[in-house]
Structures are given as C-alpha cells and as structure tokens.
Amino acid sequence: SCSILPPSSRTSIWRFTSRRLAPWSFGELARIIVLTLIVAGLLPLAFAILQGGHPSETSDRHLWITVSMLLLDVFVILLIAAFAAGKGGSVWRALGLATRRPIASIMVACRSYLALFPWLFILLFVIVELTRVLGLKPPIEPIQELIFAEDRPAVLGLTVLLACVIGPVAEELFFRGVLYAAIRRKASRLVSMAISGAAFSVIHTNPVGFLPIMLLGGLLAYLYERTGSLVGPLAVHVVHNTFLISSALVLKQFMALGR
C-alpha cells in the first residue's frame, strides 16, 4: 500500500510509506553542485561589470543581493527540473513532488512541525543566551540584513518572495529531493537525515542557529520519507519561513515606533 496514513501509523512515528524515493545518484548531485557553484561565482562578476568597477551604494548592494539570490534559486530549480526530465518517466515523480493525497501529506507534515517547533525555539533560546554570556557576536544573515536595513517596498517584496516561496522550493528540491535521496541509497535513514540536515544548516551560514536548522532539516527529510513526497516538507518550509519573516517585519515596525 502507498497510503501515507495507515491506521498503525498513529502509534509509530517511524512507520514510513512504501513509496520509494526518486532515484538520484551522487554523480547527478555532483554535477548539480558544480554547475550551481559556477553560476554563483559568475553572479558577482556580472554585478561588478554592471557597476563599471565603481563601488556601489549600500541600497544598490541590497537590491543586488536579493536579485542574485533569486536568480540563483531559480537556476537551481530549473537545473534540477532539467535533470529530472532527462530521467524519463514522470518529471513530478523524479522531482519528488508526486503524491496521491497532498492534503494528507500536508496535515502529517504540519502536525510533526508543530510538535518539534517548541523544542527548536527552546534550543535556539539556550544557544543565544550562551553566546551572549560568552560575549560572542554571530554574523548577520543576508536575509536578516535586508529585512531590517531596507525600507523600499520593491526590495522587501522581492525578499519576502525569495524567503517564503522561491527559496523553500529550491532548497527542498536540492536538499531533500536530490541530496537526501542520493545519500539514502547508500546509508540508513538516520544517517541520511543527519548528513542532509547538517548540509542544509551549513548553507544558511548561521553558527548560532546551526543545531536548530539542522534539526529542522532532519524533520523535513523525515517527512519526505514518511509521506513519500516533498509536498509536505515544502508546505512546512514555506510556513516556517513565512512565520520568521513575518515576525521580523513586525519586530522592525515596533523598533521603528520606539525610536
């Protein structure tokens, strides 16, 4: 049976769907990474050419950061889709997005996320307090910088689009759809979840949030295994990022009122 909600699944969180994950190899993973790194390296060069070698203002830099991240994520989505199309058969199946019961997948994912979220928050709070006691100042992520430093509606709108829609799609297709699936062919579920979750956390360049982001990445991989589809993990990713961005925007407004 391919049902994602068999009666017995209510008593065991480790009962997974019988649907196999999309087959991705380490060779395909390596080619996707190399092509993405090449494009990522060319984007700053294109920016420098457009600027004519002159330093840009901070506002222009913020716009370029947003646009370049959007372009890179769109490239990753199209690249993975092209590889999936080359596999033959259903592209949706190769992408990991095929599901017979999308609503059930999303419900399972949301329940799992709500169960884990308090622990993520507690862990992050403990780490933040520890870094404060040690006098450490972690680097600011580009998205955080854009949210708090920018007031232009167009730039903020592109940032929200990037963080809440395009980014989650690109990251789910790569980290769960390709990376996790490739590792899973060689390793156990727990090992694959840990490795893909760690890689997911590293790409966010946030030392303070490393463990919470890694746990979130592990949860998303678990949901992919549990439901046999990326629909649930993608929904959770969108909800999670939307909550964080909305909270940051609300905090920004309160800070502006307090000035």
Mind listing the pLDDT tens digit for each residue in 18-73?
A: 567 888 999 999 999 999 999 999 998 887 777 665 555 555 888 888 999 999 99
Residue 17 pLDDT exceeds 70? no
User: Count of CB atoms within 10 A of residue 71's CB?
Assistant: 15
Better-predicted residue by pLDDT, 61 or 122: 122
Cα gap 250→244, rounded to integer Å = 10
Cα gap 259→240, rounded to integer Å = 29
Cα gap 255→29, rounded to integer Å = 43
Q: Calculate mean pLDDT across residues 236-257.
A: 91
Supply the pLDDT for residue 7.
Answer: 45
Supply the pLDDT for residue 32.
Answer: 98
Residue 76 pLDDT exceeds 60? yes
Mind listing the pLDDT tens digit for each residue in 207-236?
A: 888 999 999 999 999 999 999 999 999 999
**Taking all residues of the chain, what is their mean pLDDT, rounded to a whole number?**
87
Which of 68, 67, 70, 62 lies closest to 149 in space, CA to CA? 62
Confidence of residue 3 (pLDDT cuts 50, 70, 90): very low
Supply the pLDDT for residue 55.
Answer: 52
